Structure 1
Amino acid sequence: MENKKMKKAGTTHFVDLFAGKQILIPIAALLLLMIFNLIADPSFFKISMDLNSAGDHVLSGYLITILDSGSELAILAIGMTLVTAASGGQDISVGAGIAIAGSVILRVLCGTNSRPEELQAPIIVAFLVSCVVAMLFGAFNGILVAGFKIQPMVATLILYTAGRSIAAWINNNELPVVSDPTFTYFGGFIPGIPIPTPFFIAVACMIVIGLVMKFTNLGLYTQAVGINSSSARLNGLNPAFIKFLTFVILGLCVAVAALIKVSRISSINYSVIAKDIEMDAILAVALGGNSLSGGKFNMAASILGAYVIQFLTTTLYKFNVRSDAISAYKAIVVILLVVISAPVVREKLASFGKKLKPREKEVG
C-alpha cells in the first residue's frame, strides 16, 4: 500500500512539473542527450587545450563546439521568442536576413574593392549599418504582419525568397574577403582568451534582454497581445505596434548573428550562409516549451533550447549522420514538440494530474 502511494505521488509530481514549468522540457532533453553520449562515447565530453590556426591556445572539444555554434542560435532565439509570443507565428526569413546583414558588413568594410588590403571603415561602423538594414527588413516584415494582418510565415516568405539575391546584389555578386585578422575575433577567439567569442556575445545579448524584461513592460505587453490582442487593445495597448516592435528586435538579433557568421570565414557564401537556421530558431522556441501559437513565453527556456538543439546537431555529426538527413531528425523533434505543446495535450496532462490527486487521498 505504501509503495503504491509513493508511485502515484511520484507520477503526480512528474506531471505537475512538466505541465507547469517550461524550463524543465529543455533540461530533460539536455539530460537525455548527455546520458546518450555518455553511454555511446564518453570522449564526447572531453575538453582539451590546443593551438588554433593563429597559434593561440584555445579550448577545443564537442562541448566547446556546442557553446560556439549554439551561441548565434541562442541570439536568434531571443528575437524569435518575442515574435512568436506576440504574433502567434514565426519569421522564416532570418537565414536570408543574416545573408543580407552579413553582405552589408562586408560591403562597408571592403568598399568597392572586394579584396582590400586595409579596412575601408571601422568594424563598429559596418556592424551599426548592418543593424539599421536588418532592423529595416524586420520592420518591413512587421508592417506586413501588424499593419496588413498577413500571417507571419506568409509575410516573411517574401524576404525568405528574395533575401539571398538581395545579399548577392549588395556586393555585385562578388565574394568579398576581409584580410584584417581582428575581424575574425568576433566569430573565433580573442588572443589570450581560450573561450569562443560568440559565447561572450551571446551572454551580452542575454544580459541586455534580461535587463529589458526586468525594467520595462515589453515581456508583459508581448504576452498580453499574444494571448488576446482585442483585450490588450481595450486595456490601452497598441497590439500592432507591439508586434511591429518584436520584428524589429528580431532584426537586431539577425544583425548580431550575421556579424558572427561572416567573421568566422572573413567572407560570405550567399546561398549557404545560415541555411535552414530559421528551422533551428523555431525549434529552440518550441523546445523551450513556448506555445507556437503565441502568448506566454519563457526566454530562458528558449535560450537553453537553442543550446540543446546545437547539442543534438553536434551529436548527430559526431555519429556520422549525413548532413542532408539531419533536418529529418530535427523535423521529428519538431513534430513531437508541437504535439506536446498543443493545448489539447496540455489539458489532458493537467486533468490526468488532477485525477491522480484524489486517488492519493483515497489510498492515504
Structure 2
Amino acid sequence: MLEKITEAAPTNANLTGIAILLFTGCAGALLLLRGRREAWPLLGLLALLLFNSVLSKNFFSIVERDGAYYGTPINLLNQGSEVMLLAIGLTLVIAVRGIDLSVGSVMALSGATCVILMKEAHCGPLLAALLSLAVAGGVGLFNGALVTALNIQPIIVTLISMVGVRGVAMLITRAEPVTHTDATFAFIGNGHIGGLPFSMVLVAAVFVVAALLCRRTALGLFMEAIGDNERASRLAGVDDRRIKLWLYGFSGLCAGIAGLVAASYISTADPDRVGRLRELDAIFAAVIGGTALTGGRFYLGGTLIGALLIQTLSTTMYIQHVPSEIEPMPKAGVMLLSCLLVSEESRRRLLELLGLKRGQ
C-alpha cells in the first residue's frame, strides 16, 4: 500500500488536481455554511477525489489533442452524463411522489429505435433521433396516463413498462446488438464542443430547461405542493394530474436522450445491456442529492452532484481493480453513508453520540 501511495502521489500533484480539489472543497464548505443539503454529496465527492489523488495514478491528468480534452476527469463527465440525464427526469417525478423504474429500458428502446431507423428505414440521423425521442416521450406519457387516469400505483406501472419496453427493444433488434457507422450520430456521444464532451452540453441544456421551469415559473411551487399534500393541492386548484402526466413524459424524454448518448458512445444499440440497472443509479443520485422519496422538496443541483458521485465511485473501483462480483458491496456502502449524511436525523444522532450535541 505504501509503495502504491509513493508511486501515485507525485503524478497527481498537478495544477488540475489541486484546482479540482480546492473548488470542490470550497464549494462544499460554502454550501455547508449556508445549510444546503447539496453540501453532503459534494463533500462525499471530495472524499473520493482525495482518495484517488493518493491511490489512483494520473487520475487528474488532462491532455489536449486535436482541440479536445481527454483524461479521467473528462471521462467522469462524459460517462456520467447518462445517469445525470436519467436522474434529472426522475427527480421531478419523485418530487410529486412518483417513481419511474422504466427509464433504463426506455434508454435501450430509444437507442435501438434510432439505429434501426437509420440502418433499415434509411432515415437521416436527425430524423431518426427525433422519432426515437418521440417514442421515449410517448412511453413516459403512457406511464403518466396510467398513473393519473386509472390511479394505478406508479411503481407497478413503471415496473410493467420496465419489462415490456425492453422486450420491445429486443424485438425490433431481434435480440442482437446492432452497430452503426454514421459519423453525425456518433458525434452525440463522442463529439466535443469547446474541448468538452457534447454529452455534457446536452446535460447542461436539459438541466437549464428543468431548472428554469421549476424555479422561474409556478411549476416548481405546484410540484412541491403536490408532493407535500396532493389532496390539499387539488382543493387549492392545482391540476395535479396534468402536471404528473407531463412530468412522466419529461422523464421518458430524458431517458430517450440518455439512450441516444449511450448508443452513440459505444457505436452499438444493445437492447439487453444498455440501461441495465441505470434506473437504480438515477434514483440513488436523486436521493443522495437530497430529494426525498416521499415527495415535496427536490434539488436538481444535488441530483447532478449525486450522479457525479456515483460515476466517480464506479470509476474508482474500476481503477483499483475491484472484482466485479464484489463491486456492489463497496458501492452500496458508500451510497448508504452518503444517505446517512444527507439525513438530518442521522447527523443529529451522530453528534449526540460524539458528545457534541445534547439530546432533546
What range is the shorter-chain TM-score in? 0.7 to 0.9
Shift of 1:337: 4.5
Q: Which residue of 2 aligns with 1:100?
A: 109
Q: Distance in 2 between matches of 1:78 and 1:195?
A: 20
Q: Distance in 2 between matches of 1:348 and 1:292?
A: 21
Q: 1:171 to 1:356 in 2, by over 3 A?
A: closer
Instruction: Give, as a single letter, the amino acid of the residue that structure 2 aligns with 1:94.
Output: V
Matches within 5 A, 1:191-206: 194-206=195-207
Q: Distance in 1 between matches of 2:220 and 2:70?
A: 37
Instruction: Please tell me whether residue 70 in structure 1 is matched to residue 72 in structure 2.
Output: no
Instruction: Give, as a single letter, the amino acid of the residue that structure 2 aligns with 1:35.
Output: L
Shift of 1:350: 11
SS in structure 1 of the partner of residue 196 of structure 2: coil
Instruction: Give, as a single letter, the amino acid of the residue that structure 2 aligns with 1:98.
Output: M
Q: Which residue of 2 aligns with 1:247?
A: 248
Flag structure 1 segments of 5+ consecutive residues without an equivalent.
1-13, 51-55, 113-119, 358-364
- Offset from partner CA, 1:165-197 (integer Å, 9 cap, x none): 21021234454332222221111024x853222
| Structure-2-length-normalised TM-score | 0.82
SS in structure 1 of the partner of residue 271 of structure 2: coil
After the TM superposition, which of the residue ranges 195-204 and 170-179 deviates more from structure 2?
A: 170-179
Q: Distance in 1 between matches of 2:209 and 2:240?
A: 23
Instruction: Please tell me whether residue 40 in structure 1 is matched to residue 55 in structure 2.
Output: yes
Q: 1:76 to 1:330 in 2, by over 3 A?
A: same
Q: Distance in 1 between matches of 2:50 and 2:165?
A: 40
Q: Which residue of 2 aligns with 1:24?
A: 39
Q: Distance in 2 between matches of 1:223 and 1:322?
A: 42
After the TM superposition, which of the residue ranges 94-103 and 237-246 deviates more from structure 2?
A: 237-246
Flag structure 2 segments of 5+ consecutive residues without an equivalent.
1-28
Q: Which residue of 2 aligns with 1:3?
A: none
Q: Is residue 22–residue 290 contact of structure 1 (8 Å, CA) maintained in 2?
A: no
- What RMSD, in angstroms, separates the aligned Cα atoms of the two structures? 2.9
Q: 1:85 aligns with which of 95, 110, 130?
A: 95
| Structure-1-length-normalised TM-score | 0.82
Q: Is residue 189–residue 199 contact of structure 2 (8 Å, CA) maintained in 1?
A: yes
Shift of 1:266: 2.5
Instruction: Please tell me whether residue 138 in structure 1 is matched to residue 140 in structure 2.
Output: yes
Report sequence identity in percent. 33
Q: 1:41 to 1:330 in 2, by over 3 A?
A: closer
SS in structure 2 of the partner of residue 45 of structure 1: coil
Instruction: Please tell me whether residue 297 in structure 1 is matched to residue 298 in structure 2.
Output: yes
Q: Is residue 291–residue 342 contact of structure 1 (8 Å, CA) maintained in 2?
A: no
Q: Is residue 40–residue 338 contact of structure 2 (8 Å, CA) maintained in 1?
A: no
Shift of 1:148: 3.1
Instruction: Give, as a single letter, the amino acid of the residue that structure 1 aligns with 2:118.
Output: L
Q: Distance in 1 between matches of 2:306 and 2:335?
A: 12
Shift of 1:199: 1.3
Q: Is residue 40–residue 341 contact of structure 2 (8 Å, CA) maintained in 1?
A: no
Structure with max Cα Rg: 1
Q: Distance in 2 between matches of 1:199 and 1:17?
A: 26
Q: Which residue of 1 aligns with 2:222?
A: 221
Shift of 1:205: 1.5
SS in structure 2 of the partner of residue 60 of structure 1: strand
Q: Is residue 63–residue 70 contact of structure 2 (8 Å, CA) maintained in 1?
A: yes
Instruction: Give, as a single letter, the amino acid of the residue that structure 2 aligns with 1:197.
Output: F
Q: 1:321 to 1:301 in 2, by over 3 A?
A: same
